[in-house]
Structure 1
């Protein structure tokens, strides 16, 4: 029986995308994509999710790419401009689950400890969770088993009684290996269908 629902946040409940900022900065899409694929890369960003400070991360790239300093410093200097808003369809699903009173609701998110407070201030629904585990605070992240175990242990969650929702298939597969029923998020509509199949909604 499902007792616990675990949500990822970025691209599931919150629309976060560096393109929103860098389209304002670069006049050509190709230049923007090259910058985000080769300088401020997803792998670089994940190290901040794992606890590296924004100052250290920024300086690392400035030292390597001094000609791009202005663009590099914008990543965290104007980070809030990457937030596109709530993904309302998923928030509606979340609200229904919360109002049912049937489930413990947690978030397991790869997110810098330094930028997460900005999201907390902006999105009221983050207060609906019974607990949130933030990678940057824990200095650990998905898809490592230890990060999932942090949530399971802290909130006394049994893997067989939980459902995990994430847009990253890598993270979904990692949860499944731990015995957690998982949903690969592609859209709010598809999520609702999956939860209805499980008779959770």
Structure 2
């Protein structure tokens, strides 16, 4: 390959992500699980948390105000407080990919939208976390994919030439944005690790 640096998104790439797992800890009521998913994990506040634009306290207060019942509100609160413990699990197959890339001499990086909790605990869920040459999360930078600025900030931070990088993400919009800044991309939306390994020459 012409690339020297392989850059990974985290959610649904390096880790398997299931937001409903947070509410399932506390209820099997599908209506409440769906409500928590919409009000917490698909909210504008959630996106603002990834962008470092709001505190967790303010975000939670706004989220909780939209629940219809006290039961759902309490489950929403507990889901928000514990999501990072249950919603993400390591994708061990991708850990093998990271190991093989390092064995072949590539540099590997993480570039991911993530709130302020992730820099503190990502090693608990990212497979082969200690092998990464650099980790770049959105909230501390107050930027979000697919903003072009986040890619440029990433290149600057690690002194990378984008033409030597390949970005692996599960969202086509993020791949398109990376290409506009000079970094090739591979869309991992299908989750097919074998196809990815073939593409990478592994």
Same fold (TM over 0.5): yes
CA distance in 1, matches of 2:124, 2:25: 24
CA contact (8 A) 1:14 1:83 kept: no
| 1:145 alignment counterpart | 148
The Cα of 1:18 is off from its aligned counterpart by: 1.1
- Deviation of 1:114 (Å): 2.3
CA contact (8 A) 1:15 1:84 kept: yes
2:98 to 91, 94, 118: 94
Partners of 1:162 and 1:181 within 8 A in 2:
yes
Over aligned residue pairs, what C-alpha RMSD do you find?
A: 2.1
Q: How many residues align?
A: 196
Following the alignment from structure 2 to structure 1, what is the Cα–Cα distance between the partners of residues 41 and 130? 30
Tell me, yes or no, if structure 1 residue 15 matches structure 2 residue 19: no
Instruction: Kindly indicate whether the alpha-carbon contact (under 8 Å) linking 2:50 and 2:144 is maintained by their aligned counterparts in 1.
Output: yes
What does 1:37-186 align with in structure 2 at a 5 Å threshold? Answer: 37-41=38-42, 43-51=44-52, 52-65=54-67, 67=69, 68-101=72-105, 103-123=106-126, 125-185=128-188, 186=190
**Aligned partners of 2:68 and 2:61: how far apart in 1?**
10
Q: In 2, are the aligned partners of 1:108 and 1:134 still within 8 Å (CA)? A: yes
Contact 1:49/1:136 (<8 A) preserved: yes
> Shift of the alpha carbon at 1:66?
6.6
Contact 2:39–2:66 (CA<8 Å) still a contact in 1? Answer: no
Q: Deviations over 1:157-189 (max 9, x none)?
A: 112111000011221111122221100012212
SS of corresponding position for 1:25: coil
CA distance in 2 between counterparts of 1:182 and 1:112 reads 23
TM-score for both structures, normalised by structure 2 = 0.86
Q: From the superposition, tell whether residues 30 and 190 of structure 1 become closer, same or farther in structure 2 (CA, over 3 Å).
A: farther
TM-score by length of 1: 0.87
